[in-house]
Structure 1
Amino acid sequence: MEMRETAISLTKRLAQTAQETFGDFEEAVEKDATKTAVLDGTVHPLTSYVINYVKFLFDYQSTLKQLFQEFDEGEPESQLSKVTTRIMQALQNNLDGKSKQYKDPALTQLFLMNNIHYVVRSVRRSEAKDLLGDDWVQIHRRIVQQHANQYKRVSWAKILQCLTVQGGNPSGGDSSSLSRAMVKDRFKTFNTQFEELHQKQSQWTVPDSELRESLRLAVAEILLPAYRSFIKRFGHTVENGKNPGKYIKLRPENIESMLNEFFESKTWGEQKR
């Protein structure tokens, strides 16, 4: 009898320690202030560390469920589920903080997109999916999409304005609505802005190939039609004058191939290796 009571009190103490350990871990994740800056907006070491920790929890889930059963009247399954959800929330809060270190708002969005995508993908491929539930997965997939949309808006809205003529769509209306000087200016601004974006964002990383492809495609789908119709409508204005190549430096196919170099992190990748 005494042995049994000792065993029970020991189990309770263990369960309490486990709960406290998770609480400490959650707090450590939330407050993690590692100065490791990921310059290219890729998956942060903290994200992969937390995911590995959560996967490690599942290796011991049957033991943990037994402990929680002793410690708490509630369902051991839902206890483990709560712990996991709280750890994930702590990670997200921390990533939000880390994302604010970037001076470029587009890189902030890319960083959050990459990290939450990594979390969602890892969860979907592990048993954590059953504990966090389908709703959790769906909500976080939407969050990834929102960050991708914000990235597009923040990065590309300004350059798209070069290709828009007041009074609506680039391809509609009267082509005399821009003077020759204005057309030249628009082309020059477009070239400068696109080259700047290319130079900067080909240093950034989207490590997941599927996500990288779909983001490039999403950019191409808004940029190329606008550029093509601008050339179609105003190209002749500079093509008939001196040095047309000074203004129409980039053909749509050049832009397409340059977009394929975005998010490849050429230089950082080499440094990492």
Structure 2
Amino acid sequence: FLDMYETLRDLIPAVEQSDSDLIDEIKLAQTRLGEAAVTIIGELENSIKSDNGRTPVPSGAVHPLTRYTMNYLKYACEYKDTLDQVFQHYEKAQSDQTGTKPEPEPKRNQREDDDEYKTSAFARQMIKVMELLDANLEIKSRLYRDPSLRSIFLMNNGRYILQKIKGSTEIRDLMGQSWTRKRSTELRQYHKSYQRETWGKVLQTMNQEGLQVNGKVSKPVLKERFKIFNAMFDEIHKTQSTWIVSDEQMQSELRVSISALVIPAYRSFFGRYKQHLDSGKQTDKYVKYQPEDIESFIDDLFDGNPTSMARKRN
């Protein structure tokens, strides 16, 4: 019906010299179509607000609400000029009724290179929808008991939103560079949060502090450190190989960052302290992984497919 709105809008100049009753009817029909468009966007907002399911999406994947909303907005933005006109008329009608002016767009969302953007009615509406989606996703992230999976969920959805915006010239122009940079910063924060929650304690097991007693390496303490590392790494691999990061670039970035964090630390710890364990069965009992094994198992993470370590090691 936005096509009909555009047709009527373009028809008015051609019939301005005609019967005034006809012009009034055309304008009335155009207004009704505009109101219908506003109502539909309002229904999208309500659908986001009312999506309060208590079951988390398995494996931290992109939520269906995110896909639905972004695909909806991508389609709507094909009519962004028309919708901007519709919402300008709507805001004017609202302000005429209440005697107030429409609130200006929040400064943090304004494009720095486009003064017109500051008064774009549809851009303000887009930002409102995105903020509703963000708030809903934040609530949904709390359904995950594991803080690391919570970060993966927010990363997956944030990345999906960002890629949709970057892939659509219309949405990108509406949202602006400042908004896009802010989203990228949030993704990096989720990434850091994931690393801290998952790998911080793993790195602590390789801390040199407490390993020496009276100037000598304590074998019981060293054995316990290797045991703890093995148990923690086993659990992470078992759990996070079932998690999903569907964006291949982000999946690769996560694995690379984990490898850069963990492998040098383990290689150093392994090389420095393995010699303090008796050779033979004792070493095999406590030193479960070679440094190259760690990298191989990190490459299993976020595939959504649990991998048997025992089967892989055979």
TM normalised by structure 1 equals: 0.89
Distance 2:190 2:30 in 1: 44
What is residue 271 of structure 2 aligned with on the other side?
232
Aligned to 2:181: 138
Report if the CA contact (8 A) 1:109-1:150 is conserved.
yes
CA shift for structure 1 position 102? 0.6
What root-mean-square deviation, in Å, do the aligned CA atoms of Structure 1 and Structure 2 show?
2.4
Query: Partner residue of 1:253?
Result: 292
Q: 1:63-94 CA deviation, whole Å, 9 max, x = no partner?
A: 32343354445879711111111111111111
Question: How many matched pairs?
Answer: 264
Whether the aligned pair in 2 keeps the contact of 1:11 and 1:70 (CA below 8 Å) is no
1:45 lines up with 2:97 in the alignment: no
- 5+ long unaligned stretches in structure 2: 1-19, 93-101, 103-115, 307-314
Structure 1 residue 116 corresponds to structure 2 residue 158 = yes
Following the alignment from structure 1 to structure 2, what is the Cα–Cα distance between the partners of residues 144 and 57?
Answer: 26
Q: Residue in 2 aligned with 1:190?
A: 229
Question: Which residue is equivalent to 1:271?
Answer: none
For the 8 Å contact 1:205–1:264, the answer to whether it is kept is: yes
Rounded to whole Å, the distance in 2 between the matches of 1:142 and 1:78 is 25
Please, which of 190, 193, 204 is the counterpart of residue 150 of structure 1?
193
Tell me whether 1:97 sits opposite 2:136 in the alignment.
no
Once the two structures are TM-superposed, the CA of residue 106 in structure 1 deviates from its matched residue by: 0.3
Amino acid at match of 1:47: T
Letter in 2 for 1:51: M
Tell me if structure 2 keeps the 8 A contact 1:27–1:90.
Answer: no
Matches within 5 A, 1:59-74: 59-73=78-92
CA apart distance, 1:176 = 4.2
Letter in 1 for 2:41: F
Residue 179 of structure 1 corresponds to which residue in structure 2?
218
Mapped to 1, the partners of 2:236 and 2:70 lie a distance apart of 32
Give the match for residue 270 of structure 1. Answer: none
List runs of 5+ in structure 1 lacking aligned partners. Answer: 268-273
- 1:174 deviation in Å? 9.9
* 1:165-187 superposed Cα distances (whole Å, 9 cap, x missing partner): 228xx9xx999464110000000
Higher-RCO chain (CA-CA 8 Å, sequence separation at least 6): 1
Aligned-pair identity in percent equals 35
C-alpha contact 1:85 1:132 (8 A) present in aligned 2: yes
Which structure has the bigger radius of gyration?
2
Match of 1:211 among 227, 247, 250: 250
> Residue 81 of structure 1 is aligned with which of 123, 127, 130?
123
Q: Distance in 2 between matches of 1:194 and 1:215?
A: 16
**3-state SS of the aligned residue for 1:262?**
coil
Distance 2:65 2:214 in 1: 54
C-alpha distance 239-226 of structure 1, shift in aligned 2 (>3 A): farther
- Structure 2 residue 301 is matched with structure 1 residue 262: yes
